[in-house]
């Protein structure tokens, strides 16, 4: 590979993902689909573009997300559009717009897709990133929390995670937040002069958002101050206790996190997060909670709901998950004249089924060069996602063609055998996955 100086580069905070890493992502998404559909969740696909107003109304005008992090622009007709920074608002909009919000309940939906936030990029934090999420609408009782978190843990363990635990809290109702906000304003008034401008604005406009601040001054003022739990109404307190009881019964490990309020305004009652070791400062692999008022706030019926979103980039960085290894058959023409036969034989091998990848040496470089590449692939088998014991070179040369034969070389042992084409299924079949 020669030196190139690229004329274009990816936009800051975005990235390209190539095989085999992209294969690993796709495979993890397939695991997700299989686990979630086992719980009756169906995939919903909503647009990346939504009206700006949708996020202002749902996530909240004074949140950092809406206030500072959205990719917002006017389209050619002057409408204000935003690249979705999260997917819950879009799902709720879609559910209302389609009429599903007034149909049979509950609604169980999941999604995977890119989200956009204008944040300062760093390890685990991108401006374009992917989320895998699920939303359960129409269930107000604690069984919803139990199902959502059980499903989440089923997925996390399918990816090989062990020892994860949910941080759990309740932020109560809108009235709780109102009272907590008032209490925070008076408790923190005397410290406010030591806060930055942004946090002073939050104290004024939306004191709960101070919990998102990274400023140690703010954090230490908050540590001594009031907590959501102190302001919970009786029904929310009971709900929280029932959630804890069900999670214990389900064997979902959790710890109470009284300082957890989450950065989005739509949450009511249950909020949760999961962090993973070894990810540095951006260690939250997922977050979620209940949003019992959102459907109604966006013009739908009063419908309780709960959900979560996993940051797929962080998830895959932390997950021990490796996709199942595949076999590989490299079909190598001895010379350019052997290409038509090689293409035909490659197609026959594909028809045998199984999980073999079948690649033809389309440049017809001859056995020597092509075997060089085959051995190179073999030496990196694990890294490339191949099962070293099931890697073959299928040689198609003049001699083979004349006799309607193929020569198959097993890369791990170097053993080589020539047999008739009609025996391909039988011979290579043995090399396919048991």
Minimum separation from the CB atom of position 266 to ligand HAM (A): 8
Member of 41, 126, 367, 392 binding ligand HAM (CB under 6 A): 126
Nearer to ligand HAM, 27 or 282 (CB): 282
Indicate whether 90 belongs to the interface with ligand HAM (CB under 6 A). no
User: What residues between 150 and 209 interact with ligand HAM by CB under 6 A?
Assistant: none
Nearer to ligand HAM, 285 or 411 (CB): 285
Indicate whether 119 belongs to the interface with ligand HAM (CB under 6 A). yes
Minimum separation from the CB atom of position 3 to ligand HAM (A): 32
Distance CA 210, CA 276 (A): 23
- Comparing every residue's Cβ against ligand HAM, the nearest one is 311
Member of 50, 64, 86, 265 binding ligand HAM (CB under 6 A): 86
Minimum separation from the CB atom of position 126 to ligand HAM (A): 4
For the sheet containing 356-360, what is the strand order?
Answer: 356-360, 326-333, 386-396, 405-410, 416-420
For residues 133 to 152, the per-residue mask of contacts with ligand HAM, x marking binding by CB under 6 A and - elsewhere, is: x-x-----------------
Nearer to ligand HAM, 117 or 239 (CB): 117
Minimum separation from the CB atom of position 250 to ligand HAM (A): 19
Indicate whether 94 belongs to the interface with ligand HAM (CB under 6 A). no
Nearer to ligand HAM, 77 or 120 (CB): 120
Minimum separation from the CB atom of position 224 to ligand HAM (A): 26
Indicate whether 289 belongs to the interface with ligand HAM (CB under 6 A). yes
Residues that bind ligand HAM (CB under 6 A): 86-88, 117, 119, 125-126, 129, 131, 133, 135, 263, 284-289, 291, 307-309, 311, 313-314
């Amino acid at each position: 590979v020669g030196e190139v100086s690229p004329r274009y580069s990816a936009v800051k905070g975005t990235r390209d993902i190539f095989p085999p890493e992209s294969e690993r992502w796709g495979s993890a998404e397939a695991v997700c689909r299989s686990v979630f559909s086992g719980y009756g969740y169906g995939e919903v696909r909503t647009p990346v573009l939504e009206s700006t107003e949708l996020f202002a109304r749902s996530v909240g005008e004074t949140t950092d997300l809406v206030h500072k992090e959205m990719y917002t622009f006017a389209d050619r007709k002057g409408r204000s559009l935003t690249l979705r920074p999260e997917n819950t608002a879009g799902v709720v909009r879609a559910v209302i717009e389609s009429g599903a919000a007034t149909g049979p309940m509950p609604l169980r939906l999941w999604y995977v897709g890119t989200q956009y936030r204008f944040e300062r990029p760093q390890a685990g934090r991108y401006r374009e990133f992917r989320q895998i999420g699920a939303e359960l609408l129409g269930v107000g009782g604690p069984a919803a929390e139990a199902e959502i978190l059980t499903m989440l843990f089923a997925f996390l363990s399918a990816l090989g995670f062990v020892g994860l635990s949910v941080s759990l809290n309740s932020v109560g109702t809108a009235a709780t937040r109102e009272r907590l906000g008032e209490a925070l304003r008076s408790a923190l008034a005397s410290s406010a002069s030591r806060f930055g401008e942004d946090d002073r604005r939050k104290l004024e406009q939306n004191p709960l958002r101070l919990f998102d601040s990274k400023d140690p001054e703010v954090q230490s003022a908050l540590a001594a101050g009031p907590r959501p739990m102190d302001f919970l109404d009786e029904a929310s307190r009971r709900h929280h206790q029932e959630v804890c009881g069900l999670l214990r019964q389900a064997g979902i490990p959790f710890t109470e996190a009284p300082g957890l309020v989450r950065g989005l305004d739509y949450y009511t009652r249950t909020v949760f997060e999961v962090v993973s070791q070894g990810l540095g400062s951006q260690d939250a692999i997922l977050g979620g909670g209940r949003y019992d008022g959102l459907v109604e706030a966006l013009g739908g019926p009063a419908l309780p709901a709960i959900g979560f979103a996993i940051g797929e980039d962080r998830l895959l960085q932390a997950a021990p998950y490796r996709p199942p290894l595949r076999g590989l058959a490299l079909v190598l023409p001895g010379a350019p004249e052997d290409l038509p036969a090689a293409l035909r034989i490659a197609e026959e091998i594909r028809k045998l089924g199984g999980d073999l990848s079948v690649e033809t040496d389309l440049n017809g470089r001859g056995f020597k060069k092509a075997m060089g590449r085959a051995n190179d692939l073999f030496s990196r088998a694990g890294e490339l996602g191949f099962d070293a014991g099931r890697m073959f070179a299928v040689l198609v040369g003049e001699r083979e063609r004349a006799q309607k034969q193929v020569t198959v070389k097993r890369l791990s042992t170097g053993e080589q055998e020539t047999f008739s084409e009609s025996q391909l299924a039988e011979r290579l079949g043995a090399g396919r996955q048991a």
